[in-house]
């Protein structure tokens, strides 16, 4: 199935679904008669999944958690969603964000699907794209409109609610490459705004992503921050948090996970900017509701502890000027977006589709620890510290059939 360019198709989207718009909506004037903007940060264990429900009932699912949470996520969506999702966003092609999406799509359906367009040699990702190509009507990248290439892609969700994609902007700007994790670094970063409130949703953005955003004329201030990378120590840098100024922060991570998420350093940086922290490993599903003036957050799927934080966001454009291409660090290359969304033929080698280079560093073997759901490079420091029984995988494809890549060594 050919990948439909969002910028070319928005006129049809607007005609078919008036709540989905191409340009920035007018400054919102929230009404006391309307329903709130609600964001459900699901408890999916060590992964991410969030559902946005606008006051007009538009629905956006952002990520689908790991495979082990797929049944729970599908059941929760059946409870909250009546009819197909208006949009599904995969922030980046890692298993802890995509593992439950196929079941979610089977459970409630979807009208359109968006991901960064960053190629990744994962069998699970290929399978998902194959399913999406057969079951979802429109598939898109978050590229700017060619008519206004220095602007940001904004999707209107009705009643003045808008979802603006801050990163990536390929092909207007090249993907970040040569980072700690290129897939993470090119996560879709979006700002959801309603009145004087905002949610900054950052996937597994890396320090390179945060630095790139800080170099651009963007208003990053937010009421609620979905913390990057499950609270890992590398992201949520002090400079980024100082720009975002979150009143509350939600960390999606699994209880007693293998990575020690959230990291103590991250929690300290969040505390330094005065953010109230909620965590799915401790608080269960976090439900945040905005009336355009304040955001009310509740734990345990809306039945637990209550936290109310003021909005304070200045309504207006998120791009404070033309968003022109930034400069990459010396030595970085460029990666072109893919043009097709379909499952590769059985003989296609990992990394062959598109021009993103496959990870050729460390061809194997790979090692898994007993009782763990991830696999590591043979040289990973985690293995040196562990005395657990080990499983050896001779190549990456064999490891991916049973486990997901560890995020400390990125095998």
Give the per-residue pLDDT at 7. 37
In our burial notation (b when 16+ CB lie closer than 10 A, e otherwise), range 171-195 reads bbbbbbbebebbbbbbbbbbbbbbb
Q: Could you tell me which residues come within 8 angstroms of residue 178 by beta carbon, excluding any fewer than 6 positions away?
A: 329, 331, 332, 333
Strand partners, 162: 156, 193
Main-chain phi, psi angles of 308, to 5 degrees:
-115, 125
Give the C-alpha separation, 406 to 184, whole Å. Answer: 13
Show the domains of the chain with their CATH numbers.
6-310 (3.60.15.10), 366-405 (no CATH)
- Tally helices (H) and strands (E) across the chain: 12, 20
What are 15's two structure tokens? 């005609």
pLDDT along the chain (411 residues), means of 10: 38 34 46 82 97 97 97 98 96 96 97 94 93 92 87 93 96 92 96 98 97 96 97 95 98 93 96 97 97 97 92 93 69 38 33 31 65 80 70 71 78 79
Radius of gyration of the chain (CA): 20
Give the per-residue pLDDT at 29. 54
Which whole-number Å values give the CA distances from 185 to 133, 182, 206, 311, in the listed order?
25, 5, 5, 28
What are 342's two structure tokens? 């379909």
- Check: CB of residue 213 under 8 Å from CB of residue 167: yes
- For β-strands 87-89 and 59-62, DSSP reports them as parallel
Give the per-residue pLDDT at 43. 97
Give the per-residue pLDDT at 387. 65
What are 294's two structure tokens? 């304040």
- Check: CB of residue 397 under 8 Å from CB of residue 375: no
pLDDT digits (tens, 9 = 90+) for 234-271: 999 999 999 999 999 999 999 999 889 999 999 999 99
Q: What pTM was estimated for this model as a whole? A: 0.77
- Exposed, middle or buried by CB within 10 Å (0-12, 13-18, 19+), for 245? middle
Give the per-residue pLDDT at 395. 67
Give the per-residue pLDDT at 350. 29
Give the per-residue pLDDT at 342. 36
């Amino acid at each position: 199935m050919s990948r439909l360019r969002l910028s070319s198709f928005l006129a049809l989207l607007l005609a078919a679904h008036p709540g989905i718009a191409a340009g920035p909506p007018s400054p919102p004037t929230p009404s006391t008669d309307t329903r709130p903007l609600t964001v459900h940060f699901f408890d999916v264990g060590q992964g991410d999944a969030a559902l946005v429900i606008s006051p007009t009932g538009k629905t956006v699912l952002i990520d689908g958690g790991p495979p082990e949470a797929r049944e729970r996520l599908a059941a929760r969506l059946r409870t909250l969603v009546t009819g197909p999702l208006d949009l599904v966003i995969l922030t980046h092609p890692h298993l802890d964000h995509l593992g439950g999406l196929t079941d979610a799509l089977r459970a409630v359906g979807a009208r359109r699907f968006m991901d960064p367009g960053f190629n990744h040699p994962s069998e699970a990702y290929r399978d998902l794209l194959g399913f999406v190509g057969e079951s979802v009507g429109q598939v898109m990248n978050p590229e700017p409109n060619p008519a206004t290439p220095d602007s940001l892609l904004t999707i209107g969700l009705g009643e003045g609610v808008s979802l603006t994609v801050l990163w990536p902007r390929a092909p207007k700007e090249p993907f970040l490459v040569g980072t700690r994790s290129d897939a993470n670094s090119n996560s879709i970063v979006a700002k959801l705004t309603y009145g004087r409130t905002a949610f900054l949703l950052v996937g597994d953005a890396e320090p390179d992503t945060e630095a790139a955003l800080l170099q651009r004329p963007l208003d990053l201030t937010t009421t609620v921050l979905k913390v990057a990378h499950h609270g890992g120590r590398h992201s949520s840098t002090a400079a980024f948090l100082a720009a975002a100024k979150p009143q509350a922060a939600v960390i999606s991570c699994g209880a007693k996970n293998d990575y020690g998420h959230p990291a103590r350093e991250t929690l300290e940086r969040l505390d330094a900017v005065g953010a109230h922290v909620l965590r799915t490993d401790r608080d269960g599903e976090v439900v945040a509701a905005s009336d355009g003036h304040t955001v009310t957050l509740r734990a345990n799927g809306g039945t637990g502890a209550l936290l109310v934080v003021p909005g304070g966001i200045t309504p207006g454009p998120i791009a404070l000027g033309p968003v022109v291409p930034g400069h990459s660090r010396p030595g970085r290359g460029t990666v072109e977006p893919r043009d097709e969304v379909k499952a590769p033929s059985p003989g296609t080698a990992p990394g062959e589709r598109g021009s993103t280079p496959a990870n050729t560093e460390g061809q194997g073997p790979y090692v898994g620890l007993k009782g763990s759901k991830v696999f590591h490079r043979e040289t990973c420091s985690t293995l040196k510290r562990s005395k657990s029984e080990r499983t050896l995988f001779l190549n990456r494809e064999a490891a991916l059939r049973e486990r997901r890549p560890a995020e400390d060594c990125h095998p």
